[in-house]
Amino acid sequence: MATVPDTDTRLVNLYANLGNADPLVIACALEGQEHDSQYLLAPEWFVVTGDEAVRDKAEEFGLKVLSNSQFAALIDGAGSEQLGSRGSM
């Protein structure tokens, strides 16, 4: 939150009850990324959001960001791959 100016209410606007969990999403991804950095083949951490302010802040910290539709396409593709491998048995 130290990187968010006091006047910027795009990410968090407590008076309007908006964005209360958004900083936590980014913080969790950063914490997970830091924890996994000890591994040689660390998993990639992504933030999935449709919120432009969350996207901007996550990218500012070097996190990879997917839109909701990009994430849904990945899930659908993974499901198709699993069904394809079952069908070849």
What pTM does this model have? 0.66
What is the pLDDT, as a whole number, of residue 36?
A: 94
**Does residue 21 register a pLDDT over 60?**
yes
**Interacting residues of 22 by C-beta distance below 8 A, sequence separation 6+:** 11, 12, 49, 51, 53, 54, 57
Burial of 4 (0-12, 13-18, 19+ CB in 10 A): middle
Higher pLDDT, 15 or 56: 56
Q: For residue 48, what pLDDT band results from cuts at 50, 70 and 90?
A: very high
How confident is the model over 6-17, as a mean pLDDT? 60
**Does residue 87 register a pLDDT over 80?**
no
Between CA 64 and CA 58 the distance in angstroms is 7
Structural contact between residues 58 and 49, judged by C-beta atoms closer than 8 angstroms: yes
The average confidence (pLDDT) of the chain is 80
